[in-house]
Amino acid sequence: MTLAFNDHGEALTDVVTHIKQQLKAEIPAGPFRTTIQPLQPLQLDELVLDLAVPSELHRNRLDNPQIERMEEIASEFLGRTVQVRVSVSQMRLHTDHTSAGGTVGALAEQRPPASIDLRTNDRVKPADRPEPPAARTPIDGRHTFDNFVTGNSNRFAHAAAVAASEAPGVKYTPLFIYGDSGLGKTHLLKGFGHNVNSLFPDKSCLFTTTEEYLNKFVAAISSNTVQAFAAKMRKLDVLLIDDIQFIAGKSGLQEELFHTLNELYDLGSQVVLSCDSKPDGIQDLEERLRTRFSQGLVVDVQPPDIETRMAILNSLAERIGFWLPSDVSEVIAGRVSDNVRSLEGALRQVYARSNLFNDPITVELAESVLRDLVPASEVHISVELILEVTAEVSGYTVDQLVSASRKRALVQYRQIAMHLARDMTSHSLAELGALFDRDHTTVMHAVTKSEARLAERADFYDRYRSIQKAIQNRLRSAE
């Protein structure tokens, strides 16, 4: 096996030399010799600079600030954003001579594979791979890379997802995408699956939430079919798991997932995970899983800037089917800044008001609608508060709102409460499902129904707005 120096080979050695020269001037001689000097270049692509060290001891000496500084130096040198990834090499490296920059020289003898980052396309021969499941999981076609709006806040995560989906299992696995709720992580995962299904129709691809994964695992335990469940999961070509933070504290599921990830890695499969925090931020997570999550590429998505928010609004308006004037887009983007979900909620309400009452979409209309919106970022709004206010306005009790009753009026108020909770809080669908004593698919269905009724029925619109205003008044009175 040889080192995979790609078309950027010259830049690869140049950038590593530059990093070492820069850090040699910034770090005392002793720490520099033990942490930076041993670094050897492995590979450079459009997103990642891979470096190697000879042992776990050397890897453990590198801390996050040092790696972040290397990323700054490399990105400035290359003129594009790259992430630095350091792994323990599979082979013993030595240099015929080492310059001041520490450029790599010759390749010595190989030693048994020990690295989790050095990978090649032919690592798993086709004959060694089990047959993929016959059935392929359909991915929601509404969420694709084409309709994902990129900006400074998410460009790197989007580029990583696109690159990995075009070469699943080869470049970045696992790909770990983290960020606050409502910023587009689920969109990226579904876009990933959609792209894989389009480019590689013979590959098996599964998108699942952690809640769904847990439910299927529990069902397998109950039916004594855990072995069959595990075998199915471990033959996948691509596994996409949303909201992986909900695996925290679930020791049985963590054990199962750890072995599944190991087997998928050995098969050369692709894994993509989304989370609300970095791997280090997940509570009650086994260290071996934390290491597994971090071994590939870890990227984040941040709240969008105003230009990106305006672009998102224009894209959403086009998807809904109406034209959004630029001055109105600017007003909404300036008023709602916390996440994409809140942006969509505000836009849908402006559209609903215009559609129901035949009012032109103007700045005045937008400001009238936005006056009663309470962005989740400005104040803590709990689901309990939303349920209490919905109960007061509707005349039902909180217990009735979360009950199993299918009375039409009650169901509509329940859907409104779920819709408002989705737009006004940072809870995930799984968390909202638990708070409403439902599963996440019920919440998703309720939000979809509420969005449709909001733009079609004046009575429903009035109910929604009255609860929204009552929440605003309650918050004002508490100030």
Q: Is the pLDDT of residue 375 over 60?
A: no
Give per-residue pLDDT as tens, 306-339: 888 899 898 888 888 888 999 999 989 888 877 7
Q: Which of 107-121, 185-199, 301-315 has the lowest mean pLDDT?
A: 107-121
Let me know if residue 170 belongs to a domain. Answer: yes
Rounded CA separation 348/156 (Å)? 28
Query: Over the stretch 291-304, which tens digit does the pLDDT of each residue have?
Result: 889 888 999 998 88
259 and 339 within one domain: no
Is 376 contained in some domain? no
Q: Is residue 457 part of a domain?
A: yes
Lowest mean pLDDT segment, chosen from 49-58, 98-107, 173-182, 271-280: 98-107
Same domain, 218 and 190: yes
Q: Which of the two residues, 210 and 99, has the higher pLDDT score?
A: 210
Tell me: do 180 and 206 sit in the same domain. yes
Instruction: Please choose, from the candidates 123, 67, 125, 119, the residue with its C-alpha nearest in 3D space to the C-alpha of residue 90.
Output: 119
Domain boundary among 110, 132, 157: 110
Write the DSSP symbol of residue 36: I
Q: How far is CA 43 from CA 16, 49, 51, 331, 350, in A?
A: 11, 6, 7, 45, 49
- Residue 150: pLDDT band by 50, 70, 90 thresholds? confident
Q: The tokens of 121 are what? A: 């396309």
- For residue 115, is it within any domain? no
CATH number assigned to the domain comprising residue 274: 3.40.50.300
pLDDT class for 421, splitting at 50, 70, 90? Answer: confident
Residue 121 in any domain: the answer is no
Q: Are residues 245 and 182 in the same domain?
A: yes
Residue at 132 is within a domain: no
pLDDT of residue 472: 79
Give the chain's largest Cα–Cα span: 82
The reply to whether 277 and 179 lie within a common domain is: yes
Q: Do both 343 and 277 map to the same domain?
A: no
Q: What is the CATH number of the domain that holds 70?
A: 3.30.300.180
- pLDDT exceeds 60 at position 205: yes
Residues spanned by the domain of 330: 321-369
pLDDT band of residue 140 (cuts 50, 70, 90) is low
Out of 247, 270, 300, a domain closes at 300
- 359: tokens are 């009012």
Q: Is the pLDDT of residue 261 over 90?
A: yes
Return the closest-CA partner of residue 300 out of 10, 17, 71: 71
Count other C-beta atoms under 10 Å from residue 109's C-beta.
7
Nearest-Å Rg of the Cα atoms of the chain is 25
Confidence of residue 138 (pLDDT cuts 50, 70, 90): low
Asked whether the predicted pLDDT for residue 5 surpasses 80, the reply is no
Examine the pLDDT at 363 and tell me if it is beyond 60: yes
- The confidence band for 387, taking pLDDT boundaries of 50, 70 and 90, is very high
- Structure confidence at residue 102 (pLDDT): 38
Instruction: List all residues 6 or more positions away from 85 whose beta carbon is below 8 Å from its beta carbon.
Output: 48, 49, 50, 51, 117, 297
In a shared domain, residues 221 and 288: yes
Top-confidence residue, 111 or 223:
223
Specify whether 394 is located in the same domain as 360: no
pLDDT of residue 373: 67
The number of folded domains in the chain is 4
Q: Reduced to 3 states, what is the DSSP secondary structure of residue 168?
A: coil
Task: Tell me: do 412 and 390 sit in the same domain.
Answer: yes
- Asked if residue 117 belongs to a domain, the reply is no
Model confidence pLDDT, tens digit, residues 66-88: 888 888 898 888 888 888 888 77
Q: Select the more confidently predicted residue: 117 or 377.
A: 377
Mean pLDDT along residues 10-16? 83
Phi, psi of 145 (to 5 degrees): -65, -30
Mean pLDDT of all residues in 225-246: 92
Taking Cα atoms as reference points, which of 438, 445, 433 lies closest to residue 243?
Answer: 433
Please state the φ and ψ torsions of residue 254, each to the nearest 5 degrees: -65, -40
453-457 CB contacts, 8 Å cutoff, 24+ apart: 453/412, 453/415, 454/348, 454/349, 454/352, 454/419, 455/348, 455/351, 455/352, 455/355, 455/356, 456/355, 456/356, 457/356
**Host H or E run for residue 177:** strand 175-178
**Same domain as 152, residue 37:** no
Q: pTM of this prediction?
A: 0.67
Q: Are 331 and 408 members of one domain?
A: no
Question: pLDDT category, 133, cuts 50, 70, 90?
Answer: very low
Is the predicted pLDDT of residue 462 greater than 70, yes or no?
Answer: yes
- The residue from 95, 110, 125 where one domain ends is 110
Q: Are 45 and 74 in contact (CB under 8 A)?
A: no
User: Does the N-terminal peptide bond of residue 174 adopt cis geometry, omega within 30 degrees of 0?
Assistant: yes
Q: Is residue 204 part of a domain?
A: yes
pLDDT band, residue 100 (cuts 50/70/90): very low
The mean pLDDT of 237-260, rounded to a whole number, is: 92
% residues pLDDT > 70 (the chain): 84
Residues 458 and 353 in one domain: no
Taking residue 352's Cβ as centre, other Cβ atoms within 10 Å add up to 23
Placement of tokens 């887009």 in the chain: 329
Query: How many other CB atoms are there within 10 angstroms of residue 60's CB atom?
Result: 11
Is residue 92 scored above 60 in pLDDT?
no
CA dihedral 113→119→125→126, nearest 10 degrees, is 150
